[in-house]
Structure 1
Amino acid sequence: MADPHHASDAEHDDYVRGSQKIDEQAATFTLFINLAKWGSLLIAATLTFLVLWFQPGGSLIGGAAAAAVLLVAGFLYLKSGKKSH
């Protein structure tokens, strides 16, 4: 006996593969990727700053300088975009 919840092929004749609008899905994916990229850079710079500041013999100025260099380098790298493909 056939499953009554299974849709027959006749009900899906109007669907054309690839015709569904995915604007919201694409926007959500782009938002997630951007938050992951920039959030990772911010976390890395924060950890660099804190580690260099609170290590034995560390300094606030040294940690801030290293974090600033990391932020600038990371910003330039992430803004350069994807060169392959």
Structure 2
Amino acid sequence: MADPHAHDDYVRGSMDIQEQQATFDLFLVLSKYGSLAIAALLAFLTLWFMPSGSFILGAGAAVVLLVAGIFFLRSPAKH
């Protein structure tokens, strides 16, 4: 029986993958910062609506979480 892939011109590693790489990078960035936004929103709502909680407490915690998260999630500088 003949090899069904005998007519393929594909050579492993020769395909341009710029679009796939850009899509994957965008997905990673949106996943990181989307998760951070959800965590900050949950912290804000939890601290605001808990018994003896307040809007200011929730907002403060959310801002601190966002600032710390953005600081730690940044990509390292490329040299």
TM-score, normalisation: structure 1 = 0.81
CA deviations on 1:41-72 (whole Å, 9 max, x unpaired) are 00000000000000010000000000000000
Partner of 1:28: 23
Partner of 2:10: 15
Aligned pairs (5 A) from 1:1-80: 2=1, 7-9=4-6, 11-12=7-8, 14-80=9-75
1:80 deviation in Å?
Answer: 4.8
2:16 maps to a residue whose letter is K
- Paired with 2:56 and 2:42, the residues of 1 have a C-alpha distance of 14
Higher gyration radius (CA): 1
- Paired with 2:35 and 2:60, the residues of 1 have a C-alpha distance of 18
Aligned partner of residue 74 in structure 2, secondary structure: helix
Gapped runs of 5+ residues in structure 1?
Answer: none
1:16 deviation in Å?
Answer: 1.4
TM-score, normalisation: structure 2 = 0.87
**Number of residue pairs matched?**
77
